[in-house]
Amino acid sequence: MSKKKSIHFEVSERKILLRVVDLLMVFFGVYALSYHFDFEYIVFSKENSVALILLGVYVTLFGTIFELYDLQKASQLDTTFKNIVITASTVLLFYLLTPVLAPYLPVERLQIVYLYLVLIISILLWRIVYINLIESPRFYKRVLLVGEISNIDGLVKALNTSDPNYKIVGFINSEASSLESVKYNGLPEFEAKDFLETIKKEKISEILVASFNTEAIMAEVYHDLISLLERGFKIRDYTQVYEELLHKVPIQFVGKDFYKYFPFSRSNENKLYIFVQRAFDVVFAIIGLLIGVSLLPIILLGNVIGNKGPLFYTQERVGKNSMPFNILKLRSMVVDAEQDGAKWAQKNDSRITKFGMFLRRSRMDEIPQFYNVLKGEMSIIGPRPERPFFVSELSRIIPFYETRHIIKPGLTGWAQVKTRYGASVDDSLTKLQYDLFYIKHRSIFLDFNIFIKTLSTILYYRGQ
């Protein structure tokens, strides 16, 4: 079998590529502008190194906030163009508002417009190349799935929407017992006896093993897997790829060996990380409460007109180690919204007032929870605290649900920035997968990532 493999880019490689080339294109655009035109606002020179570094920092920071490095959105030209315009506008605004580090305003104000156009055009040209070249089929990672037919449909559906460059071209049934009795028409099926030939013919670059009963794998398939492994061929476990691409723990595929899937982050016991996180919580909670006080007149007026009732309300939630506490929020529903019992919040819920919808989508209803953060009952980042009634119900249905309570709940979290508001058991299962991923991979970098994505959620008005 030939060792020649197709060229493809991993998820992390594409994200790095996008960031690096964005910066190179911006700097090249500024250089071309200052070299070929009478442009004096930011000349490409050593004397302006601080100003150029600041420009690069702003492009990277606001590009992240406005989702320029979201691979799903980066593959769509219309969405990319919109995000580039918003990013360039914000970069220029902040650049003008930091005159100490940025250059002084030019006498000819039209030069600011030139810089704005260069930011948009330089990044857009590169993104057009990226979409038409890197996102083209020639760079797809071609994957062969090896697993049981009974599980293949769920496995394929989960991965097909995660990464457009991750292409499952077919599968080999690893179970001898179901070869004749069960068929799956969603993907081409290749014969186990043609395993090695299929890899060569289909230009496979990775094998994905999704067998939940390794003892049931046919000896022929097992022997070929060992042979490929000895040759250095890339073979990966399904759960590993699932976490990498979807950024959540596949608890629906976890069996008796559950302990293998939860080697929780060392940050959960890292004293320095815990100290830094608590310091961040306190500082940010104070800032949040001060912002809340400054917005209080507007909130009070909106409450009188659009809510007609008490401004605040408290509700019992489950915290760290399953200890209950009372959460403080701005009321967004009608008074006595749950007089008939606890109910899931739905999209376009009739119980939510018009002003309450504004509070939810802007996340302003969460501002009083900074008080809970100061008290130490919550953190800025962590799984959202749920009500005891729903925790009791969900714990009976969803395995490992109580595991999310081993850390403090948070104002925002990985589940909140990755999925919609939980309105059913299925939604709660999805949220739990994201929460466990956060607990498992918790770090300062992931916390910063969540913080940036939360800003994106607020700015794009996506709350529910």
Q: Work out the pLDDT band at 11, boundaries 50, 70, 90.
A: confident
Q: Work out the pLDDT band at 260, boundaries 50, 70, 90.
A: low
Whether 2 has a pLDDT exceeding 60, the answer reads no
- Which residues, in sequence order, are bridge partners of residue 316? 326
Kindly report which listed range (170-174, 212-216, 233-237) carries the lowest average pLDDT score.
212-216
Average pLDDT of the residues in 296-321: 90
User: Mean pLDDT, the chain, as a whole number?
Assistant: 85
Whether residue 275 is found in the same domain as residue 370: yes
Whether residue 354 is found in the same domain as residue 281: yes
Phi-psi category of residue 277: left, alpha or beta, with phi > 0 → left and psi -120 to 50 → alpha: alpha
CB 123 within 8 A of CB 24: no
Per-residue model confidence (pLDDT) at position 339: 66
Report d(CA 173, CA 179) in Å as an integer. 7
Give the H/E segment covering residue 355. helix 354-361
Highest mean pLDDT among 100-109, 176-185, 361-370: 361-370
Of 246, 263, 298, the position where a domain reaches its end is 246
Residue 3 lies in a domain: no
- 3-state class of 352 per DSSP? strand
Kindly report which listed range (176-185, 253-262, 276-285) carries the lowest average pLDDT score.
176-185
Residue 387: domain span: 271-460
Per-residue model confidence (pLDDT) at position 129: 95
CA-based diameter of the chain, in Å? 80
Residue 257 lies in a domain: no
Average pLDDT of the residues in 149-154: 72
The number of domains in the chain is 3
Percent of the chain with pLDDT over 70: 89
Whether residue 430 is found in the same domain as residue 307: yes
pLDDT digits (tens, 9 = 90+) for 403-439: 999 999 999 999 988 887 666 788 888 899 999 999 9
Per-residue model confidence (pLDDT) at position 462: 63
- Which residues, in sequence order, are bridge partners of residue 126? none
Per-residue model confidence (pLDDT) at position 187: 82
Phi-psi category of residue 45: left, alpha or beta, with phi > 0 → left and psi -120 to 50 → alpha: beta
Report d(CA 189, CA 355) in Å as an integer. 54
Q: Work out the pLDDT band at 181, boundaries 50, 70, 90.
A: very low
Helix, strand, coil: what percent of the chain each, to 5?
55, 10, 30
Per-residue model confidence (pLDDT) at position 180: 47
pLDDT digits (tens, 9 = 90+) for 371-403: 999 999 999 999 999 999 999 999 999 888 999
Residue 262 lies in a domain: no
Report d(CA 83, CA 77) in Å as an integer. 10
Whether residue 50 is found in the same domain as residue 95: yes
Per-residue model confidence (pLDDT) at position 184: 62
DSSP sequence for 277-294: HHHHHHHHHHHHHHHHHH
Whether residue 241 is found in the same domain as residue 275: no
What six digits make up the tokens of 421? 């508001």
Report d(CA 320, CA 377) in Å as an integer. 8
Whether residue 452 is found in the same domain as residue 367: yes
Residue with tokens 């496995």: 155
Highest mean pLDDT among 37-41, 45-49, 344-348, 391-395: 391-395
Whether residue 122 is found in the same domain as residue 146: no
- Strand 312-318 vs strand 206-210: parallel, antiparallel, or unpaired? unpaired
Whether residue 168 is found in the same domain as residue 312: no
What is the amino acid identity at position 38?
D
Of 76, 100, 135, the position where a domain reaches its end is 135
- Strand 324-330 vs strand 312-318: parallel, antiparallel, or unpaired? antiparallel
φ/ψ (deg, to 5) at 62:
-75, -25
φ/ψ (deg, to 5) at 365:
-65, -15
Per-residue model confidence (pLDDT) at position 84: 96
Whether residue 326 is found in the same domain as residue 449: yes
Between residues 340 and 355, the one the model is more confident about: 355
Q: Work out the pLDDT band at 207, boundaries 50, 70, 90.
A: very high
Strand runs (DSSP E) across 201-270, as ranges?
206-210, 235-237
Q: Work out the pLDDT band at 213, boundaries 50, 70, 90.
A: low
Per-residue model confidence (pLDDT) at position 257: 64
Beta carbons within 10 angstroms of residue 434's beta carbon: 22
Whether 179 has a pLDDT exceeding 50, the answer reads no
Whether 36 has a pLDDT exceeding 80, the answer reads no
